[in-house]
Amino acid sequence: MRRARKPRRRSSGKPPTGPAALQYKIVELSTVDEGSLEFAVNHWVQQGWTLENVQFAMRESSKRPAMAFVFFTRASEAEAQVATAQAAAGQGRAETAWSRLAALATEGEDR
């Protein structure tokens, strides 16, 4: 009896990305309620940070959390400046290997 093979995953055609340089922000909340969590998340997301995780610190004597730590990330300043410069120069669009090869081929014909 033969086992059925698992289907192979198809890649998206994008090269694997290297480790991105990220900046991290950790916000400590000593008052843990809906309003304080909502305010912290909305405030830092508007500043360009991306919400990653929320960790709660519990007390043994209570079911309510004593503190919360809200984790945010964003691209490092250097990467953000490069992305902004590329977008301003019109280079921010994604380019496939085939379209780049075709562009190089037409450049060679112009000479």
The domain limits of the chain are 20-76
* pLDDT score recorded for residue 92: 47
Task: Express each pLDDT in 8-58 by its tens digit.
Answer: 655 555 555 555 688 999 999 999 999 999 999 999 999 999 999 999 999
Mean pLDDT of 73-100: 68
| In the predicted structure, residue 82 carries a pLDDT above the cut 70 | no
What does the DSSP assignment read for the chain?
-PPPPPPPPPP-SSPPP----EEEEEEEESS-SHHHHHHHHHHHHHTT-EEEEEEEEE-TT-SSEEEEEEEEEEE-HHHHHHHHHHHHHT--S---HHHHHHHHHHHHHH-
- pTM value is 0.53
Residue 110's pLDDT band, with cuts at 50, 70 and 90, is low
